Amino acid sequence: MAKSLSKDPLVYFIKFLIYLKEKSEKNLKSSALPVKTKECPSCAMEIDSKSTTCPICKYEFPKRAPWITWMAIFLVIIWLLSYVL
Ligand SMILES: [Zn+2]
């Protein structure tokens, strides 16, 4: 079984599909492993990007207030409407 000299293109196609499947599974596993990190501006340590406080120096990351974003979008819509109406 070591030397299968089959010229059937379907065999190669299936092998190619299996290769792609294995490759994508490996990619999924490898991409899942590295945790997203951010640098602490206080102690310059790589910490979890989701954490709001640095576990090393207890630096508190400033939270981006979501209402400011929504207010900006709202103002842009009002501004656009003033042109349309
Ligand atoms: Zn820190």
What's the 56 CA to ligand 1 centre distance in angstroms? 5
Domain residue extents for the chain: 9-84
Q: Which residues contact 25 (CB under 8 A, 6 or more apart)?
A: none
Does residue 82 have a pLDDT over 70? Answer: yes
Give tens-digit pLDDT for 6-47. Answer: 678 888 888 988 888 888 887 766 656 667 899 999 999 999
Give the Cα separation of 29 and 27 in Å (integer).
Answer: 5
Does residue 2 have a pLDDT over 60? Answer: no
What's the 49 CA to ligand 1 centre distance in angstroms? 12
What's the 11 CA to ligand 1 centre distance in angstroms? 55
Cβ proximity of 45 and 39 under 8 Å: yes
What's the 33 CA to ligand 1 centre distance in angstroms? 23
Q: Distance of alpha carbon 73 from its chain centroid, rounded?
A: 24
Give tens-digit pLDDT for 60-74. Answer: 988 777 788 899 999
What's the 29 CA to ligand 1 centre distance in angstroms? 29
Does residue 54 have a pLDDT over 80? Answer: yes
pTM strictly above 0.85: no
